Structure 1
Amino acid sequence: MCSHYEAPTPRLLAHTFGIDPYEQGKLDLWPGYIGPFVRRAEQVDHDGAVQMPVEALSGSFGLIPSWSKDTKIARRTYNARSETVAEKPSFRSAWRLAQHCIIPAAAIYEPDWRSGKAIATRIARTDGELMGIAGLWEQWRDPGTGEILHSYTMLTINADDHPFMRNYHKPQDEKRMVVILPRGLYSDWLKAPACESMEFMRQYPADRMAVAV
């Protein structure tokens, strides 16, 4: 599970996705914080053509379903287990509607318990590129003000047999990892229908991940 990650710089985000520079506040993100996510563009011009294939939006790290009374639920919905995402009330609507997004991350943080105590460890791609984490997005309307707030969650899979990620979290706990997409699958994930979503739930190669300072 990933509850702490580092957003990329606006310049790296813009370069990776071919979008205009994106204004980002905090780069060090925890559940409930506001961070960037990328989805298929919904903007169209007067001729009906899409202006950009993707767009970056700000949202809460932690998915807030439309039926939630407030935003506190984001503290518990920052990760969605791919095995049960279609069934859980908080996630099933976004999954059924294929509201796919990519959460850009310069690095993720996981606890290393091999010394007997939790040591927060920064993990990044070995090639220095940003991680494109598969996620789901949602929008929530504040019942008091009527304002719209976007939110997102990271999809996770089992990592008990992953040569790298099995070293993290408590020894007795199931090992989990976020779904990191190869760059060549970004477009495919964003446009995939719900019936194909599970095909993207794969482990990222261990030799492409490393502890980073």
Structure 2
Amino acid sequence: MMVMANANAQAAKVRRMCNLYHVSSKQEIERHFRLIVAAGAALPEGTGVAVGPFGQGVMIRANAAGERQAVAGQWGMIAPHALQPRPASRAILTNNARIESVAERPTYRDAWALGRRCLIPAQSYQEPNWETGRNIWWQLRRADGAPWALAGIWSEWVNPNTGELLPNYSMLTMNCDGHPLLSRLHKPDPQLPADAQDKRSAIPIAAEHWDAWLRAPLTEAQALLRRPPADLFDPAVTQVTDELLARLRRDPGPTQGSLI
């Protein structure tokens, strides 16, 4: 039983997705996404502000008039009947939601069923690469320099003690096993075959589909959830890893520990 528990814990670590991204500035969000900013929304004025789980970030959703609107909120969904904005256990993260189970998980299912979909503007998002035997963080950016519009879902939670309304959101993820770039990310589980690792990927939405993602019926919106093509990513993201791998192939001796 203990062996099985350890294996499950390891698999959970492998499947854990993006836990840090850099939000675009207010000026970039307004210019690139052609939207309005919600009244009182404290969007970041600076460039590349880092957002971690349960930190303050930005989401773009459709307002009552169907317009794109930028709203500040917590990156990490809050369960509908929660008594506090984040789980008591640090091990529980709700900033990522798997598309395979988003319709069933209690934290996410209401938002999904109600069509509360959003775009998450990001200059880059961070993922680990373990191909050298040590972690190298990859900062995933677009090749064209534009901000990402990552697929997400959103909700609003009312603090039962203060009555404060807190918008919150999660980033959707999908399987990317076999993808020429994204399958290189995350620490592989040695107990699983190479074609069953369940590597995860954030899901960018193309500009021509932004409004459909925000407002279209569920079946139409689901069809927009696709693995991004490799050439969408800045090729420089692999440079450090590839250089180290080349050095290791030339000299696979005990110097590996000093490379990073």
| Residue deviations 1:154-180 (CA, integer Å, cap 9, x gap) | 111100011110110012242110111
Matching residue of 2:71 = 57
Matched, 1:159 2:176: yes
Are 2:57 and 1:35 aligned? yes
Amino acid at match of 1:154: M
SS at match of 2:141: strand
Task: Choose 202-211 or 86-95, whichever is displaced more.
Answer: 202-211
| Count of paired positions | 205
Are 1:81 and 2:117 matched, yes or no? no
Question: In structure 2, how many angstroms separate the alpha carbons of the residues matched to 1:168 and 1:189?
Answer: 26
Q: C-alpha displacement at 1:106, in angstroms?
A: 0.4
Answer whether contact 2:35 2:67 (CA < 8 A) is retained. no
Contact 2:212 2:221 in 1 (8 A): no
Query: 1 or 2, which has the higher helix percentage?
Result: 2
The TM-score normalised by the length of structure 2 is: 0.74
SS in 2 for 1:93: helix
Counterpart pick for 1:15 among 24, 31, 39: 31
Which residue is equivalent to 2:18?
A: 2
TM-score norm. by structure 1 comes to 0.90
Task: Give, as a single letter, the amino acid of the residue that structure 2 aligns with 1:37.
Answer: M
- Point out where structure 2 has 5 or more consecutive residues left out of the alignment: 1-16, 190-196, 240-260
Q: Deviations over 1:95-142 (max 9, x none)?
A: 000101000000000001111121211110000011000100000000
SS of 2:134's partner is: coil
Unaligned runs of 5+ in 1: 43-49
Q: Which residue of 2 aligns with 1:24?
A: 44
Q: Deviations over 1:78-110 (max 9, x none)?
A: 000001110111100000001010000000000
2:166 is matched by which residue type in structure 1?
L
Match of 2:149 among 129, 132, 136: 132
Q: CA deviation at 1:53?
A: 1.3
Contact 1:2–1:79 (8 Å) recurs in 2: yes
